[in-house]
Amino acid sequence: MSAIGLKLSLPLKGLKPRHVLPGFRLSLGFTLLYLSSLVLIPLLALMIRPVELGVGGFWAAISTPRVLTSLRLSFGMALAAAAIDSVFGLVIAWVLVRYRFPGKGLLDAVIDLPFALPTAVAGIALSTLYAPNGWIGSLLIQHGIRIAYTPWGVLVAMIFISLPFTVRTVQPVMSDLGLEVEEAAATLGATRIQTLARVVLPMLAPAVLTGMAMAFARAAGEYGSIIFIAGNIPAVSEIAPLLIITKLEQYDYAGAAAIGVVMLAASFVMLLALNGLQGWAARRR
């Protein structure tokens, strides 16, 4: 190599590397401004509003039987819906990745339908199907099973609106997994059950837990699709977001904010637990 070529191949001193995005200070400033205006400041305002109630008033606002029942229903059904979606979302993602069949593209597009469908339209459709005189509800009512206008209707609506999160979280990870791992396990004498339990599921566990966390967060805050199928009976099938709307209509802004703070704290704790479980599963891989 000539001296000129060697000189050109060496990095020029005093020149900083160029980046497509702006510098660190400008990017960090924009990030903090964006997150503060859209996330941090509204959450701070939510936590400050119940201060006017005092400790006793805050406890009185969140400890009534109606509020406790609605919180238990919202978070209990959201956790159940996330768990159910994790199982069936894994199966659906497996089918979409591993097999080819007619109508696969249509099925893949239908998975995203809850994203695009207005929640009110979804609620009307579900209540029409699962009502005692609906297509599905009329069959279930013959066996003594009532879905619409009961707490089970809340679960059905939550499963519907949160299913895409589990499927779309697991699907790309499963696509990257490939068949080589399963074939290698088979050559070592592993059965299908052993391959699934010891090879495939441990590698998919972090993605499944991530999808479960996202599905739980989506279901816990759902409002539009649930109110049409739940029946909204106080202390029976009334969800916490509906109770917040009710208090706002009664101009009880501090009481509504108090319930919102409890939902925020409970959601944060649940998501923190799921993220910790996800990190533990990732370290076990």
pLDDT by residue (tens digit) across 103-113?
888 988 899 88
Tell me the pLDDT tens digit for each residue of 134-175.
899 999 999 889 999 999 999 999 999 999 999 999 999 888
What is the C-alpha separation between 33 and 169, in angstroms, rounded?
Answer: 29
59-104: per-residue pLDDT in tens? Answer: 998 999 999 999 999 999 999 999 999 999 999 999 999 888 898 8
Query: What does the pLDDT read at residue 126?
Result: 92
Same domain, 46 and 170: no
Residue 231 has pLDDT above 60, yes or no: yes
Rounded-to-5 percentages of helix, strand, coil across the chain: 75, 0, 25
48/113 same-domain check: no
Closest residue by Cα to residue 161 from 205, 111, 206: 111
Whether pLDDT at 116 is above 90: no
In this structure, the answer to whether residues 47 and 94 fall within a common structural domain is no
Candidate from 11-20, 33-42, 102-111, 134-143 with smallest mean pLDDT: 11-20
Q: Within 10 Å of residue 222's Cβ, how many Cβ atoms? A: 25
> Do 36 and 68 lie in a common domain?
no
Residues 26 and 119 in one domain: no
Alpha-carbon gap, residue 106 to 119, rounded angstroms = 21
Please report the pLDDT score of residue 46 as a whole number.
Answer: 86
More confident position, 66 or 42: 66
Report the C-alpha gap between 154 and 239 in whole angstroms. 8
DSSP 51: G
Whether residue 266 is found in the same domain as residue 212? yes
204 and 175 both lie in a single domain: yes
Same domain, 36 and 79: no
Do 121 and 171 lie in one domain? The reply is yes
The answer to whether residue 52 scores a pLDDT higher than 70 is yes
Question: Same domain for 46 and 94?
Answer: no
**pLDDT tier at 198, thresholds 50, 70, 90:** confident
Query: For the chain, what is the domain count?
Result: 2
CA 124 to chain centre: 22
- Residue with the bigger pLDDT between 15 and 165: it is 165
Using CA atoms of 205, 208, 209, 212 in order, give the dihedral in degrees to the nearest 10: -160
Asked, for residue 14, whether it belongs to a domain, the answer is no
- Counting beta carbons within 10 angstroms of the beta carbon of residue 231, is it exposed (0 to 12), middle (13 to 18) or buried (19 or more)? middle
> What pLDDT was estimated at residue 146?
92
CB 144 within 8 A of CB 138: no
Instruction: Report residue 285 CA to chain centroid gap.
Output: 23
Taking alpha carbons only, the member of 218, 264, 233 closest to residue 119 is: 218
| Alpha-carbon gap, residue 127 to 148, rounded angstroms | 6
pLDDT tops 70 at residue 190? yes
Q: Give the mean model confidence (pLDDT) for residues 47-53.
A: 87
Q: What is the CATH number of the domain that holds 277?
A: 1.10.3720.10
Those residues with Cβ within 8 angstroms of residue 199's Cβ, 6 or more apart along the chain or in another chain: 181, 182, 185, 190
Q: What is the largest CA-CA distance in the chain?
A: 91
In our burial notation (b when 16+ CB lie closer than 10 A, e otherwise), range 180-199 reads eebeebeeeebeeeebeeeb
**Residue 27 domain boundaries:** 22-53
The rounded percent of the chain whose pLDDT value lies above 70 is 90
Q: What is the mean pLDDT of the chain?
A: 85
Q: What does the pLDDT average to over 218-231?
A: 90
Clarify whether residues 46 and 76 are in a common domain: no
- pLDDT-based confidence at 282, cuts 50/70/90? low
Amino acid at 143: H
171/269 same-domain check: yes
The pLDDT score that the predictor gives to residue 8 is: 46
Residue pair 259/240 in contact by the 8 Å Cβ criterion: yes
